[in-house]
Amino acid sequence: MAEGRRLVDALAAVAPRYAPDDRKEKLRLLEALEAVPLRAAGALIRFHEALCFLQAYPDCPDVLEGVDRALAGVPPRVDRLSPAARARLYDSGIAHTTLDYPFGYPMALWLARRFGKDADIAWAKFDEADRLDETVSLLASPAEGDAFSEGGMGWRAWLRVAKGGRRMTDLELLLELFERTGLPEETRDWLFENLALPVRWTPRGAGASRTLARRARPPRAFFHEAGLDRRGAPLAEALAGPPPPLRRAPAALAASLIDAARVAMATRQRELHAFSHPNPDDVLLADAGRGVTIALFGIRPGFRLPLEGYYAFLALKNGVPVAYGGGWELFGTLDFAINIFASFRQGESALLATALLRAYRRIFRMRTIVVDRYQLGHESAEALQSGSFYFYHRLGFRPRDPGILRVLEAERAKIAADPGYRSPIPVLKRLAGDEVFLTLPGGDPEPEQRLRATDVAARVARLVAREFGGDRARATRQCAARVGRALGARRRTAWPAAERRAFERLALVAALIPDLAAWPAADRRALVALMRAKGSGSERAYARRLDGHRRFRRGLTAAVRA
């Protein structure tokens, strides 16, 4: 056991180094570890993480071949562990281990359909029996009501009876119940999520764990014979060049990428709205070089953000998912968030962030980029411990809050005096106290004063309260009629349902502008097209129309600030 731990520690130490001697050492250690059992959970986890990193950042074909072989051998290693050691791998996302998480309805449904009996409910971890009893009684037929009344059989016995002899898991039965409620999707999803059912999943097979997460490798894998490039070009300079071309993913590839994104999140006990409600017809791909592929995911029209344009992303390095996040844009300002998975944070993070923002530049043509304080460490221990503030600072992002600027100046002086100095956590918390910005040519000189979607939402809430007494259905109906008349959009019944719904939702925003009817005809037609685009196939088309409608931006800004 001691020998195995020593070899694993040596592999973990040499993994991010790329001198010729390091390559030989990796090959030696990989070969030696093939014959060594790892009976301790800690050693197996560390071995696994080093292998994941090297699969994404291999030195050469021989190292990659050895890594692939070692990762394929991880599931049998897990199977040979003692029950106590296996229990310590719970929630790791490693193949043949088990995790649980209160996934929302779309992800739970996907897990049940994709992985069958490997996904079920961890009843031992569920402590909301009364809430489940009330919910199931609400969704079951009235004729079944007595089963849930005082003295009835209760939900546990009902689950057994309601299967009617069908071979299905408890999770599949509950999902069937929710799927056939007839409730609006948003209501159904909220009701399921509110139960906080711990969904237990045991990932097995190719593409169903962190261990075997790699998709088909690019035609030519990128090898790091010359080492890692952690410098990264100045971001503003990189974004000044032509952005990479984007191509729409064919249907089969889009479905595969959606699966990869969901597996990457589920194995880390996370969810992302865009991966739960992706639009398979709006998956875009960019090849960023050095083995990096960026997949950008639009959202189904009914689940899009109310005003902003939005795409989530999954970044893959040599076919391995290494990062996720998103970018949402409003009138030239992109809010950007990137989360590099822990296994890959010793890699080329700056280059990865640059490649992602170049792809977003192709979609949104943003002129200002903002990173919010959560990404910097505000109420995020993970971001604090990873030094997220300095990561963005090296890319060129700067705070504008005078107090934070003073703290930063003092810290930079300490770093200049002592290269080994590291800002302590309390200081990092102060640095994460506000947003940081990168302003590109044509960007807002005072981006902290920009119009925000939350400002618009507050103004809509006031409109509904003052003009409609809080009746949101009446407000939506009457604002759609009013805005439709002002813009000349009277024959909306012939539009696709998603476009009608998008128009009605955005009508509450457009109704804030008092002089719509007086706009030039071209501007009114452009606003109608913009509102319909929010419900069309591609959010990219909506974002372009939104950013290009200057009169709408001016009118909305004036209405919100009045």
Judge whether residue 217 has pLDDT over 70: no
81, pLDDT greater than 90 = yes
Given a cut of 90, whether residue 524 has pLDDT beyond it is: yes
Same domain, 192 and 267: no
Type of residue at 374: Y
One domain, residues 358 and 377: no
d(CA 64, CA 198): 37
In tens, the pLDDT along 133-174 reads 889 988 988 898 888 887 778 888 899 999 999 999 999 999
Same-domain pairing of 14 and 121: no
pLDDT score at 144 = 87
Structural domain ending residue among the three candidates 305, 330, 363: 363
Q: DSSP letter string over 47-68?
A: HHHHHHHHHHS-SSHHHHHHHH
Domain containing 422: what range? 373-434
pLDDT at 220: 83
At 145 the pLDDT is: 82
List C-alpha distances in Å: 252 to 256, 277, 334.
6, 17, 30
Interaxial angle between packed helices 185-195 and 170-179, expressed in degrees from 0 to 180 and rounded to the nearest 10: 150
Average pLDDT of the chain is 94
> Considering the domain boundaries, does residue 442 fall inside one?
no
pLDDT value of residue 218: 67
Quick: pLDDT tens for 414-461: 999 999 999 999 999 999 999 999 999 999 999 999 999 999 999 999
On the question of pLDDT at 401 being above 70, the answer is: yes
* Residues 244 and 350 occupy one common structural domain: yes
Name the band, by pLDDT with cuts 50, 70 and 90, for residue 257. Answer: very high
The answer as to whether 439 is a domain residue is no
User: What does the alpha-carbon distance between residue 422 and residue 387 come to, in Å, rounded to a whole number?
Assistant: 9
Reported as a single tens digit per residue, the pLDDT across 479-499 is 999 999 999 998 899 999 999
Give the pLDDT confidence score for residue 163 in this predicted structure. 93
Q: Is the same domain home to 359 and 377?
A: no
Residue 449, both tokens: 């004063």
Task: Indicate the number of domains in the chain.
Answer: 5
pLDDT at 233 over 90: no
In what side-by-side order are the strands of the sheet with 436-439?
A: 247-248, 278-289, 292-299, 309-317, 320-330, 333-340, 368-371, 436-439, 398-399
Task: Based on the fold, state whether residues 419 and 459 are members of the same structural domain.
Answer: no
Does residue 474 lie within any of the structural domains? yes
The whole-number pLDDT of residue 152 equals: 78
Q: Does the pLDDT of residue 49 top 80, yes or no? A: yes
Considering only residues 203 and 129, tell me which one the structure prediction assigns the higher pLDDT.
203
The amino acid at residue 167 is R
Read off the amino acid at residue 422.
Answer: R
Mean pLDDT of all residues in 25-33: 97
Q: Decide if 298 is inside a domain.
A: yes
Q: Region 85-99: what's the mean pLDDT?
A: 96
pLDDT digits (tens, 9 = 90+) for 278-326: 999 999 999 999 999 999 999 999 999 999 999 999 999 999 999 999 9
Kind plus residue range of the DSSP H or E element containing 285:
strand 278-289
Over residues 181-209, mean pLDDT = 93
Query: Per the domain annotation, does 207 fall within a domain?
Result: no
Stated pTM of the model:
0.94
Residue 329 has pLDDT above 70, yes or no: yes
Mean predicted confidence (pLDDT) in 116-130: 93
Give the per-residue pLDDT at 155. Answer: 84
Give the containing element (helix H, strand E) for 75.
helix 74-79
213 occurs within a structural domain: no
Let me know whether 44 and 13 are in one domain. yes
194 and 160 in a common domain: yes
Question: Does the structure show a pLDDT above 90 at 537?
Answer: no
Q: Going by DSSP bridges, is the β-strand pair 368-371/333-340 parallel, antiparallel, or unpaired?
A: parallel
Which pair of structure tokens corresponds to residue 422? 């590291």
- Are 341 and 402 members of one domain? no
Give the C-alpha separation, 513 to 452, whole Å.
16
Q: Which helix (H) or strand (E) holds 369?
A: strand 368-371
Distance CA 294, CA 316 (A): 6
* Whether 272 and 316 share a structural domain: yes
Domain co-membership, 42 together with 69: yes
Cα gap 316→215, rounded to integer Å = 9
Task: Give pLDDT, residue 154.
Answer: 82
Residue 437: per-residue pLDDT: 97
Pair 246, 351 in one domain: yes
pLDDT score of 150: 73
Instruction: Tell me which DSSP letter residue 156 carries.
Output: H
The answer to whether residue 216 scores a pLDDT higher than 70 is: no
Q: What is the mean pLDDT of residues 120-140?
A: 91
Distances (CA, A) of 28 to 194, 358, 381, 407: 51, 39, 37, 47
Instruction: Examine residue 472 and state whether it is found in any structural domain, yes or no.
Output: yes
pLDDT at 206: 84
Query: Is residue 359 one of the residues assigned to a domain?
Result: yes
